[in-house]
Amino acid sequence: MAKNLSDLAIQYFEAHEEEAIEKLCQLVRFPTISAEYCERQAAFSDCALWLQGEMSRIGLENAQVIPLENAPPLVYAEWLGAGDSAPTLLIYGHYDVVPVDPLEQWSRPPFEPVVTAGRLYGRGASDDKGQFWAILCAVEACLKSNSGLPLNVKILLEGEEEALSAHLAPFLKENWDRLNCNGILIADMDALHPQVPLIMYGTRGNCTLEVHLKGPSHELHSGTYGGGVENPLNVLVRLLAAIQDGKTRRILVPGFYAAVRPLSEREMAYLEDLPITDEMGLAITGAPALAGEEGYPLKARISARPTFEVHGICGGYCGEGVKTVIPASVTAKLSFRLVPNQDPEEIGKLVRDYLVQKAPPTVTIEVTPWGKAQPATVDLDAPLIAAGQRAIRRGFGAPPKFVRGGGSIPILNILQEQIHPHILLTGFGLPEDRTHSTDESLSLSQFRNGVRSVIYLFEEVGKFSRQA
């Protein structure tokens, strides 16, 4: 019996899988930490050129590195060989990664990838290099086998997603015609389990702030001046504690919850269907006990409710032993994950006004916004979502569950507004991948199933569009 297009492409991938994983190892070796872009510009340039070369190698056309002012370059390529009557899918991914600190807690160097026990270890292996690489492997398998692609594809990779995609929006606005498509594919998330794949129908937004307090003009001896001069670190701790109720975990900033949109009946049904339990949360996190907003189950707290987190406090002395000083200044880095219809700019203003009002006159306070991402949702009735359901079921052998994601994809709502409203947001990671943590890794079994599901997606999208 003659093999169909998907069978031919999957056969090609399986014959070249070892080479694909070795190429992914090469990609992970680039230390593309967007928070450290100024010091690592050469790594970003080298990685972008490598990606350009690889996209040309696999058969894509017009592969190019697109420079951005004071930002990591974009990488773009396309294949339009299916013709004007065929649908076009835009594929978005990001090649930047988060910082590796604390480096001493890694079991192996983060940018020296190692394959062991069915996993590839290294920073970015899962978020997001391994996931967009699975898509590119699917493209290669279709183009280099005898199957061909039943649709056109455009690939856009950026290097600033982990820094809230600050420079991508103007490019999208200016290049909407070049990026014109019939839908968008993003793979940048975790499944719950190898047999519980997910389609994300929304993401939380993000409001990141830096709070800076100044006290005396220089460090002071705490014995000589303690009790007479305010310690900015003491004040900072009190201010941060005042943001959230210690028992209910409700955020106490006036007006914070005013715009929160409740879940619809359909969303409530999706939430109930998710097999997320407290036991699972404890096992994955290793925490001694779970926490979060009172009155909501874990599955809602990590996806459908807004949150407040302190990510770092800088100031005073943190070295070996004790240095009894009153610091001159201190800083805290904060973020608020937001849900529809909360606006990060408005939330930032509410938090700033609240902290300024609460700060005593013994210190000066400055609250600086660092970045923002709007919460976003997708149209669950879009044809692309239906195609994604079928493809993921075929690729993973199980139907996907629907979830609103707890993380943020800063550019998601801008892609919807500027390029196309229909986005399939999925992913091939797992909770144990430890993304944004030490010893990040990617399951190679998930990687393989991800490649297969994308091959099936190409077939499904092409079929659907011809029927339409």
DSSP calls for 46-83:
HHHHHHHHHHHHTT-EEEEEEEETTEEEEEEEEE-TT-
**Residue 13 CB contacts under 8 Å (≥ 6 apart), including other chains:** 20, 137, 138, 140, 141, 448, 451, 452, 455
Q: Are strands 423-426 and 184-187 parallel, antiparallel or unpaired?
A: parallel
pLDDT of residue 465: 55
Domain definitions of the chain by residue range: 5-203+375-467, 205-260+306-372
Residue 364 has a CB neighbour count (10 Å cut-off) of 12
pTM: 0.89
Q: 5-203+375-467 belongs to which homologous superfamily?
A: Zn peptidases (3.40.630.10)
pLDDT of residue 95: 98
Which residues make beta-bridge pairs with 187? 426
pLDDT of residue 3: 64
CA distance 385 to 394: 14
Enclosing H/E stretch for 332? strand 329-338
Identical fold, 5-203+375-467 and 205-260+306-372: no
Domain 205-260+306-372: assigned CATH number: 3.30.70.360
pLDDT of residue 148: 81
Residue 381 has a CB neighbour count (10 Å cut-off) of 8
pLDDT of residue 302: 95
Enclosing H/E stretch for 441? strand 441-443
pLDDT of residue 466: 44
> Tens place of pLDDT for every residue, the chain, 468 residues?
346 889 999 999 999 999 999 999 999 999 999 999 999 999 999 999 999 999 999 999 999 999 999 999 999 999 999 999 999 999 999 999 999 999 999 999 999 999 999 999 999 999 999 999 999 999 999 999 977 899 999 999 999 999 989 899 999 999 999 999 999 999 999 999 999 999 999 999 999 999 999 999 999 999 999 999 999 999 999 999 999 999 999 999 999 999 999 999 999 999 999 999 999 999 989 999 999 999 999 999 999 999 999 999 999 998 999 999 999 999 999 999 999 999 999 999 999 999 999 999 999 999 999 889 999 999 999 999 999 999 999 999 999 999 999 988 888 989 999 999 999 999 999 999 999 999 999 999 999 999 999 999 999 999 865 444
